[in-house]
Amino acid sequence: MKTETRPVSIFNIAVIVASLGYFVDIYDLLLFTIVRVPSLKELGLPQSEIDSGAGMLLINVQMLGLLIGGIFWGIIGDKKGRLSVLFGSILIYSVANIANGFVQGINGYLLWRFVAGFGLAGELGAGITLVSEILPKEKRGYGTMIVATVGVSGAVAANLIAKLVGDWRICYFIGGGLGLCLLVLRVSVMESHMFNAVRASSAARGSFLALFTSSERLLKYLKCMLLGTPTWFVVGILIAFSNKFAVEMKVNGTINPGDAIAFCYAGLTVGDLASGLISQLWRSRRKVMLLFLVFTSVMVAVYLNMHGAEKWWVYTVCFLMGFSVGFWAIFVTIAAESFGTNLRATVATTVPNFARGMLPLISILFIQVQKYFTFLQSGAIVAVICIGIALITAWSIEETFGKDLNYLEEI
């Protein structure tokens, strides 16, 4: 399979569009976390419903949209093209964002959060796949680093805009408007030559079930997925419940989970930049994953032993813990580099969404462990499990740096 080759800058239009698309993706996901409570209060729901019933249902519905969308957009990316996913996903989540700003009841909110989750599911995987295929193998780590770093900074922007604007509906309109502006840039993006070559051939492509027909391929797929587990444990448990952990450790001052999330994502942004740069310098994805996972272990241990600490130190540790799990760029790049062109988009799109989808399982485990141990001990036990699995996976996974991606999977 031969493809046209030409020098490509790491700052080409595809990298820019993928970066800004992921920026809006993260903006929307975190914005929903920030405005969920005030929006539901304005819609007239009692606090009990906000804390458990409707509030939890909204989160689960969005997660369902992400999981279904991950499979759908992954298959479309391999069958119709990476650009089809970028266009379709941006359009859907932009419309959903604007619609979220107009909802007048919980049913409408549930519908549009599902649609938003469905649309958001395609952005990162398609962007990373496209960037990985159009950049030279020695430079693609820089491209995916830019995508992840710019994208994760959308969380910081969401927190800032929510505080400056105040009105949750306007915040949603801003997100939708940003997405629609991206569609103008999308027109200038070219499809990857690798995919065009596969599309012109008779090779089968875009089969999600093909990931399960070979034990070797399934094991590789599961390894790619498990690498992302620590990120969502840190963000979804340790940071999301930072106020509760602070009370248990008798921290001096009240910890605001929203501020903890902002500090964590600021760390994630710097971490993604650092992990990408180190990966290029070391010419290795695997070594960088191991380095950051060891640092994650250290920072989680520090976090769970801040007894009587000052408030500023808690937020500092939240930043450092975010930095330690700032390997999202490396994580998704490994997934894209581990599979052939005819399954690459399917894998790169489903893996990050399934990794996100593991948070409910981690939460259930965390709750069950609390039946036998204290809150802090439960956090430590789940941390050992999540980080331990990721460390074993990173140790055994194939090195993909500099790998030639111009090949097909036999399906």
CB atoms within 10 A of CB 6: 7
How far apart CA 89 and CA 116 sit, in angstroms, is 9
Which residue's structure tokens are 């200038």? 188
Taking residues 254-279, report their average pLDDT: 88
Nearest of 27, 18, 51 to residue 262 by alpha carbon: 27
According to DSSP, residue 373 is labeled S
Taking residues 13-34, report their average pLDDT: 85
**Furthest C-alpha separation in the chain:** 65
Q: Is the pLDDT of residue 258 over 50?
A: yes
Gap between the terminal Cα atoms of the chain: 16
Domains detected in the chain: 13-396 (1.20.1250.20)
Task: Write down the pTM of the prediction.
Answer: 0.86
How far apart CA 259 and CA 247 sit, in angstroms, is 16
pLDDT of residue 293: 97
The residues with which 310 forms a beta bridge, in sequence order, are 252
What tokens appear for 104 in the block? Answer: 């007048």
- Residues 283-292 have pLDDT tens digits of 999 999 999 9
Residue 310: φ, ψ to 5°: -80, 155
- Residues 44-103 have pLDDT tens digits of 877 767 666 677 788 788 888 999 999 999 999 999 999 899 889 989 999 999 999 999
